[in-house]
Amino acid sequence: MPTVQANPGTSVGQLSGQHSLSAEQQADQLLARLNAMREKIDKSARKISLDEAIALGIRNNPELISAFRSIQDYEWQLIAAQRQWYPTFAISNGAPTLGLDVNTYITKFYNDPFRTSVSTTPGSAIGTEPTSISQYTNTLNFQPNASISWNFIDPTRQPDINAASEALRQQKLLFEVSARDLILNIQTSYFALQSTRQLIEEFYNIYDINRQLLEVNRARYEIRLVSMLALAQTQTQLYNQLNQLLGYTKQFIEESATLAMRLGLPVEALALPDEKANLYRDWSMTLPQTIDRAVESREEILASLAAAEEARWDGISKINSYLPIVLLYGEGALSRASGVINGSPGLDNTRSEQLQTVWNAAVGLGFEWTWDGGVDAAAARSDYAQEEMERSKAEMNRLQAVQQVRSSFGQYETSRVAVDSARLAYQSAQVAQEAARARYEIGLGDITSIVQTIEQLGTASISLSDSILNYNRSVAQLYRYSATWPGESDQLVRQQEKSLR
């Protein structure tokens, strides 16, 4: 690439207004600005290998952490369901448990043959009014009450536990899905950055070729050895290469931001590949072996089956709610009252002060049965329908797994051929443009041939980069779609699980 000094903040309008600069010098100014943007990212970014990127993502990605917290949520739901086996214990109280109790009451006696009625009003007839007695109670009370019960026959308990267990199993499988998706996304971003950086380097070289050719044509034009058409073609070619570099630089910035997001890096941090684009790995399994592994191991299939089992047990629990519950019940109560009990207002109630203690206890079997009008029966039918839906989803996931494996395996095999073909095409394009330039320099060729061969070199560079990218993506997808962990990623996921607990 030609050495150019330019202010990266210079606008295109300012450049176009500088009539003293030639077309190639203006292009150099624009290229310098693009190069400054790319170098700024390159210098500030951390250079990491693919294995390091996967380890960073597994450790930092918040989406994976969220998926693990969901597992913990369902673990506690299972524990809550299992604790239905435990007896329940309650401590209640009187009114109040500890406090003052004051009662005042009046008793009037009518037609009591064992009492002598007396007149309480002067001049009135004897026996016209009943005798009345006023009494009161003023005590300090302590009245605790405790009860314990155990539903030792509860038809809904074990189905609830089984449903919670299947729900937890589903969440663990979905966590594996999240981890595999994260690894695939990191690999895809990493390979894309490698590919884009390779294209940028290739097109810088192509730009350099065009830049040198433009200088030659300008010198020849000044001595009338080439026409304005030849000069304009070279300038157009130069700007076309510059526009392609602009697009790749924009793509490079976007992909670096995407990789940083998937790695869960801090706001100010970036990461870039520390190695050039190259073929990732070979896939050792055959297509039938890969399909068999996918069908047996894909967590999406197993998660749908676990969801179906959860729905089935939920339905059984609702149906069983119509069966009776047999329980063992016991309770005990203490009531202590200290103070005046049945005292007479206005009199000396010293002899009425008492300490009264009452114990109550009961133990035995209990029986509960409820009828809700068929609400739970209808809800159970809904659960059974959901069970069938999840089983159909599992079959759909199985078909999708087979389709994904077939597609990725086909891309893997075709991309292996494409890489070899693209390399040959790239080598031929290099030879062709060098030969065309050599012929042009000695006056045997024309500018159109050079422009065409340079375009062919650019096309061959893109084809080679794309074929390597497609190969790497296909291998990464085969790992993902066959439920196979690449490298040591399985151990990294298990370590992350331990660290999050």
Instruction: For residue range 377-419, list pLDDT tens digits in order.
Output: 999 999 999 999 999 999 999 999 999 999 999 999 999 999 9
Mark whether 197 and 251 lie in a shared domain. Answer: yes
* Structural domain contains residue 16: no
Of the candidates 428, 414, 407, the one whose C-alpha atom is nearest the C-alpha of residue 466 is: 414
Mark whether 220 and 342 lie in a shared domain. Answer: no
Is the pLDDT confidence value at 122 over 80? no
The first and second tokens of residue 192, run together, are: 């894309």
* Structural domain contains residue 430: yes
Is the pLDDT confidence value at 459 over 60? yes
447-481 vs 375-441: helix axis angle to the nearest 10?
150
| Other beta carbons within 10 Å of 286 | 10
* Structural domain contains residue 486: yes
Mark whether 189 and 286 lie in a shared domain. Answer: yes
Our CA dihedral for 301, 307, 309, 312, rounded to 10 degrees, sits at -140
DSSP, collapsed to helix, strand or coil, labels residue 4 as: coil
Mark whether 425 and 278 lie in a shared domain. Answer: yes
Bridge partners of 500, per DSSP, are: none
Average pLDDT over residues 462-486: 96
Is the pLDDT confidence value at 116 over 80? no
Mark whether 262 and 303 lie in a shared domain. Answer: yes
Bridge partners of 271, per DSSP, are: 46
Is the pLDDT confidence value at 113 over 60? no
Task: Tell me what the pLDDT averaged over the chain comes to.
Answer: 87
Mark whether 363 and 301 lie in a shared domain. Answer: no
pLDDT of the residue at 124:
47
More confident residue, 328 or 98: 328
pLDDT of the residue at 79:
96
Sign of CA dihedral 157, 161, 162, 166: positive
Mark whether 337 and 242 lie in a shared domain. Answer: no
Cα–Cα distance between 320 and 311 in angstroms, integer? 14
For residue 345, whether the previous peptide bond is cis, meaning omega lies within 30 degrees of 0, is: no
Instruction: For residue range 128-182, list pLDDT tens digits in order.
Output: 555 677 887 888 888 888 889 988 899 999 999 999 999 999 999 999 999 999 9
* Structural domain contains residue 10: no
DSSP for 129-165 reads S--EEEEEEEEEEEEEEEEEEEEEE-TTHHHHHHHHH
Q: How confident is the model at residue 91 (pLDDT cuts 50, 70, 90)?
A: confident
Is the pLDDT confidence value at 52 over 60? yes
Mark whether 106 and 30 lie in a shared domain. Answer: no
* Structural domain contains residue 147: yes
Is the pLDDT confidence value at 451 over 90? no
The first and second tokens of residue 488, run together, are: 């040591």
pLDDT of the residue at 17:
46
User: Which of 92-101, 279-288, 391-400, 419-428 is predicted with the least confidence, judged by mean pLDDT?
Assistant: 92-101
Cα–Cα distance between 130 and 143 in angstroms, integer? 37
Cα–Cα distance between 180 and 56 in angstroms, integer? 14
Is the pLDDT confidence value at 6 over 50? no
CATH number at residue 164: 1.20.1600.10
Most confident segment among 122-136, 224-238, 480-494: 480-494
Is the pLDDT confidence value at 336 over 90? no
* Structural domain contains residue 269: yes
pLDDT of the residue at 111:
59
Mark whether 353 and 401 lie in a shared domain. Answer: no
Q: How confident is the model at residue 18 (pLDDT cuts 50, 70, 90)?
A: very low
Cα–Cα distance between 435 and 454 in angstroms, integer? 11
Q: How confident is the model at residue 241 (pLDDT cuts 50, 70, 90)?
A: confident
Mark whether 139 and 69 lie in a shared domain. Answer: no
Is the pLDDT confidence value at 25 over 90? no
* Structural domain contains residue 13: no
Asked if 90 and 144 touch (Cβ cutoff 8 Å), the reply is no
Q: For the chain, how many structural domains are there in total?
A: 2
Domain assignment of residue 343, given as a range: 88-116+124-153+325-368
Q: How confident is the model at residue 4 (pLDDT cuts 50, 70, 90)?
A: very low
**Measured in Å, how far apart are the chain's first and last C-alpha atoms?**
53
Is the pLDDT confidence value at 21 over 90? no
Bridge partners of 339, per DSSP, are: 139, 354
Is the pLDDT confidence value at 102 over 50? yes
pLDDT of the residue at 112:
58
Is the pLDDT confidence value at 278 over 80? yes
More confident residue, 19 or 272: 272
pLDDT of the residue at 418:
95
Of the candidates 47, 84, 228, 51, the one whose C-alpha atom is nearest the C-alpha of residue 163 is: 84
* Structural domain contains residue 495: yes
pLDDT of the residue at 5:
40
AA letter at 360: N
Mark whether 65 and 191 lie in a shared domain. Answer: yes
pLDDT of the residue at 323:
94
In this structure, the chain runs to a length of 501
Average pLDDT over residues 309-321: 96
DSSP, collapsed to helix, strand or coil, labels residue 430 as: helix
Output the CA–CA distances (angstroms, integers) from residue 410 to 24, 289, 291, 295, in the order listed: 45, 14, 13, 18
AA letter at 148: I
Q: Model's pTM, two decimal places?
A: 0.82
Q: Please give the biggest Cα pair distance in the chain.
A: 157
Mark whether 102 and 214 lie in a shared domain. Answer: no
User: What residues contact 392, with CB distance under 8 A and at least 6 apart?
Assistant: none
